[in-house]
Structure 1
């Protein structure tokens, strides 16, 4: 508990004792929100982040220039409004006035300039997201102008995530390399410390700029890698929200349970890469054969208990680019055999599929083994930690690689780097000029309907070339205590804590 709150706490207790305030009201004011995370966040600095668990914690510490609403639309945050020039190359942001960082220093246009320049540095993992900014002009304390080298339609969407999170320039300078352990933002909660692998503790920001927020006194993140352990802690009341929920328990909630399930569409996808730079997946007929042998609806039902949606594209229904390409193909063993024959693989072949270490993905792997067997394809399953998978993806040393994506609000961020020639996430080593040109065209187009038409064209090619086997779109799946009030679902799957109370 922050010492500054102790007199207030004593007052509340006196009011409860006098019958002037109910214990329930007192608890709602005084509560700490406990949230379980299935992974231990690494670096608490948005410029160095690569994990969704980190994004969960960031939402409490850092505000962004803009945010998302429940429909995935971009809404004001630290930028209260903005304008875009007719040529779509100049963005002028008009900032909230009177906002301070948690260390008491002012948030202003100079702070925005500092953060965006820092995000462009070679050491920053945000540099590719911000690479199109060529000039930053501080017009006055509350106005900043950003000039891009080229029109870039996803730009504002990028600012709803880590690239748009604002750190205190003074704190960054003070802590240097150790800022990753001393984060300071303008957000609703202040970082107080962590026990590595166990907890991260935040306390209420008493000077938060949004009136009436935050509702809770603090947030404690508890690291629980086992989804069943987290579930048991939810049932017992030791945690209030779990960022994962056991699939088998979705339809098994007992009467009178003190928890509920948030089960709504997300922006992400799950599936596996095929290495197109090596036999047998250098032939697209082989890749297409694998694609049409997989019964995605069966996987969604058996493994995920309906908490995912069978897919065939990177675009879920939560994105405007979602289209007909997302409808999975019907299983067709005869056609798959014909494709293999055309590729010179009439007798079938074998390959290794590298999977995450979770039991759910192991079950998916076993189902894929059975689905490919009728066409003579033998699948060997191998488990690996995510870091190992990513390294083999970058090096191109794998055959099949099961790695999903948590999703981003703009379609570009779900497809571009995955399939353009030499894209940073293009572990399939795939590339065609036609797809490259279409996806670049989509980046330049400001009209949403026209952009969708371009994505539709690109997907017509990608569903035939099959560099990646899309299996499903995850739902946002949280367990939440019924005592928690003020929860707001956002399709990016990140828990906002400012409005939470219990």
Structure 2
């Protein structure tokens, strides 16, 4: 079987419309073909079962209550639909919604639902359900979506229409309507399940939840009454968390699974090198997502900028990229936007703190010898931090490298391995204030969404997304300015200033862009192809290795 590799890069388009946000376009520079057309020849055949290997388990599946990384997002796309989705040109389009209207001042967003859509339990999706989702769950005390929706109210306009009214203008609110805060779920099921709701999801999606054995597998079956006629094609999908990267690749090679994804650079290279011999296809994606370290800026000594700056100046980005297997494939990152993004700034890139051991030592000494140091330890006491990372071999190597580089400037680093679901929970924190519970964690930052950072960097209290607990008045001011205009050039200047602020305050450090892949046996079709309800408008492919199973089919 010949090896087909399609590299799919999202390149953001420099345009932002008032009623729809245009942020990315898709092209291909693959060596084996230009897109997935060769593997989506049809007509699609109904039936069959696909087993997908995921990089990690997810804590739960209830919107508003549980957080999901790339693995969880792949599962959620099977069970739930969102009001809006981004198309392949980068434009936000209605999905579950039939239409979206936005006021000129960017404060009122009116969503009309498509008629005759039902949840998996047979209850109807209507405006009243959206209102209950919003009032009783998504904005409730402790909800992970509460901060995202802060200052937002919702009213029912008619049986299929709701209107969101924002306290302030927000040009990026369409992204909210494409995420966890706009992923409708059955209120009947929510109220019946109580505390067990996270293990029994009911949405409107193409597949119905069947069973979940934590750390083993989650099974979904075809929704025979799915509202998009003719979909899905598969009878069943099994999602298997396989945290060990080599074991996941071996499972694909042996045929135990049909598909897998990874964001680990070392495994990307292994998959590409072995694809032809084992007869599977590799689909690549390189976007804004980058490897990073996040600092808990709410906890001494990392609440002091001098310590964070010292830690970043001690790091060798190229060495970190090499350890992770990305050497020669990706450049060092300097901001949350890739060099292909129109939001990328050369001015900001020049401000990223480069490796400078002597400067790092000077900054650290300034803190260590400060009688009023924030950790209240005696002057001269060495700085100690704990560095958390999942137990993947490449991340263990990264942890050891980080420990060595920080030791070179006098920082004592305790290394701790932690499973990804716990890793995420600790960074997010627990309700109601979601205060982070860690020192430093290896992480991933960046997305293909609107450059607005939402609640990812403030305010700390009540913002589940603010995993660094970082916020400043200046940052808040800049974020507000970016939300009040739809003019691209004005917004680009704002996000350039934010990037420069981050490079000075360093609530995080960056490694290199994350080259991610989905790998699949050649009989799995439509790996990178999915469409909107009109069945002609295409969605973006495998951004950040999130798998869309709605239109997968088997040719065997």
Bin for the TM-score computed over the shorter chain = 0.7 to 0.9
Aligned-pair CA distance for 1:85: 0.4
* TM-score between the two structures when normalised by the length of structure 1: 0.83
**Cα distance between partner residues in 2 of 1:152 and 1:206:** 38
Question: What secondary structure sits across from 1:39 in the alignment?
Answer: coil
Q: Is the 8 A contact 1:267 1:409 kept in 2?
A: no
- The range that moved more, 255-264 or 315-324, is 315-324
Aligned-pair CA distance for 1:170: 3.3
- The range that moved more, 268-277 or 39-48, is 268-277
Aligned-pair CA distance for 1:59: 0.6
Aligned-pair CA distance for 1:25: 8.7
Report the counterpart of residue 3 of structure 2 in structure 1.
Answer: none
Aligned-pair CA distance for 1:475: 3.0
Pairing 1:304–2:328 present? no
Q: How does 1:21-32 map to 2 (within 5 A)?
A: 28-32=45-49
Query: How many aligned residue pairs are there?
Result: 477
Report the counterpart of residue 463 of structure 1 in structure 2.
Answer: 503
Q: Do the aligned partners of residues 272 and 157 (structure 1) sit closer, same or farther apart at CA in structure 2, a change above 3 Å counting?
A: same
**Cα distance between partner residues in 2 of 1:77 and 1:495:** 17
Q: Do the aligned partners of residues 114 and 449 (structure 1) sit closer, same or farther apart at CA in structure 2, a change above 3 Å counting?
A: farther
Report the counterpart of residue 148 of structure 2 in structure 1.
Answer: 129
Task: Compare CA radii of gyration and give the structure with the larger one.
Answer: 1
Q: Is the 8 A contact 1:409 1:492 kept in 2?
A: no
**Cα distance between partner residues in 2 of 1:409 and 1:163:** 15
Question: Of the candidates 184, 202, 211, which is equivalent to residue 220 of structure 2?
Answer: 202
Aligned-pair CA distance for 1:494: 2.1
Q: Do the aligned partners of residues 405 and 190 (structure 1) sit closer, same or farther apart at CA in structure 2, a change above 3 Å counting?
A: same
Q: Do the aligned partners of residues 430 and 37 (structure 1) sit closer, same or farther apart at CA in structure 2, a change above 3 Å counting?
A: closer
Report the counterpart of residue 364 of structure 1 in structure 2.
Answer: 398
Q: Is the 8 A contact 1:264 1:475 kept in 2?
A: yes
Aligned-pair CA distance for 1:420: 4.8
Q: Do the aligned partners of residues 100 and 277 (structure 1) sit closer, same or farther apart at CA in structure 2, a change above 3 Å counting?
A: closer
Q: Do the aligned partners of residues 263 and 125 (structure 1) sit closer, same or farther apart at CA in structure 2, a change above 3 Å counting?
A: same
Q: How does 1:398-477 map to 2 (within 5 A)?
A: 398-405=438-445, 407=447, 409-413=449-453, 416-418=455-457, 420=459, 422=461, 424=464, 426=466, 428=468, 430-477=470-517
Q: Is the 8 A contact 2:428 2:464 kept in 1?
A: no
* TM-score between the two structures when normalised by the length of structure 2: 0.76
**Cα distance between partner residues in 1 of 2:61 and 2:361:** 50
Report the counterpart of residue 68 of structure 2 in structure 1.
Answer: 51
Q: How does 1:111-130 map to 2 (within 5 A)?
A: 111-117=129-135, 118-130=137-149
Greater helix share, 1 or 2?
A: 1
Question: Of the candidates 200, 205, 208, which is equivalent to residue 187 of structure 1?
Answer: 205
Aligned-pair CA distance for 1:127: 1.8
Aligned-pair CA distance for 1:214: 1.1
- Cα deviation, 1:175-234, whole Å, max 9, x if unaligned, reads 444443332222111112233332222111122222332121221112322222221111
Report the counterpart of residue 33 of structure 2 in structure 1.
Answer: none
Report the counterpart of residue 415 of structure 2 in structure 1.
Answer: 381
Q: Do the aligned partners of residues 111 and 197 (structure 1) sit closer, same or farther apart at CA in structure 2, a change above 3 Å counting?
A: same
Q: Do the aligned partners of residues 193 and 406 (structure 1) sit closer, same or farther apart at CA in structure 2, a change above 3 Å counting?
A: farther
CA RMSD of aligned residues (A): 3.3
Aligned-pair CA distance for 1:315: 3.3
Pairing 1:498–2:537 present? no
Q: Is the 8 A contact 2:152 2:166 kept in 1?
A: yes
Question: What secondary structure sits across from 2:156 in the alignment?
Answer: strand
Report the counterpart of residue 34 of structure 1 in structure 2.
Answer: 51
**Cα distance between partner residues in 2 of 1:390 and 1:202:** 25
Greater RCO (CA < 8 Å, at least 6 residues apart): 2
**Cα distance between partner residues in 2 of 1:202 and 1:31:** 12
Q: Do the aligned partners of residues 27 and 113 (structure 1) sit closer, same or farther apart at CA in structure 2, a change above 3 Å counting?
A: closer
**Cα distance between partner residues in 2 of 1:444 and 1:331:** 37
Q: Is the 8 A contact 1:319 1:410 kept in 2?
A: no
Unaligned runs of 5+ in 1: 1-23
Q: Is the 8 A contact 1:352 1:382 kept in 2?
A: no
Q: Do the aligned partners of residues 184 and 412 (structure 1) sit closer, same or farther apart at CA in structure 2, a change above 3 Å counting?
A: same
Question: What secondary structure sits across from 1:124 in the alignment?
Answer: coil
Unaligned runs of 5+ in 2: 1-40, 371-379, 430-434, 529-540
**Cα distance between partner residues in 2 of 1:435 and 1:311:** 21
Aligned-pair CA distance for 1:261: 2.4
- The range that moved more, 250-259 or 387-396, is 387-396
Report the counterpart of residue 375 of structure 2 in structure 1.
Answer: none
- Cα deviation, 1:92-135, whole Å, max 9, x if unaligned, reads 12322332222333323333323223322225322222233223
Report the counterpart of residue 4 of structure 1 in structure 2.
Answer: none
Question: What secondary structure sits across from 1:194 in the alignment?
Answer: strand
Report the counterpart of residue 12 of structure 2 in structure 1.
Answer: none
Report the counterpart of residue 260 of structure 1 in structure 2.
Answer: 281
